[in-house]
Structure 1
Amino acid sequence: METIKVKILSKCDDCEGQAYLPSAKGTDSRGVDYQRHAPCTTCKGFGQTEK
């Protein structure tokens, strides 16, 4: 019988499962400010990590 390995995932502690974190503020061509986001460095934008 063949066994299957399954990775058990849990919510990333650094980004709390959000996957992307605020990185910098920017201004668009109309002068409106907006928030830029970058992928979490721990989970690489996935939102989950292995247990």
Structure 2
Amino acid sequence: MEQKYGMDFSDFEKRIHSRTGEEDFEEWDDFILWESYVTASRYWEQFL
């Protein structure tokens, strides 16, 4: 996702939440997927 959008998750999240006007459903789908990856990664890092 970083390669696709040219930014890290934090910057992409800001972009998604600051967008006004017409929604980009592909970006929202990618955001939901990327957010789940980040959440899972942070969860599993607790146990390492």
Q: What is the TM-score when the length of structure 2 is the normalising length?
A: 0.20
Q: Which has the larger radius of gyration?
A: 1
Q: Structure 1 or 2: larger strand share? A: 1
Q: Structure 1 or 2: larger helix share? A: 2
Q: What is the TM-score when the length of structure 1 is the normalising length?
A: 0.20
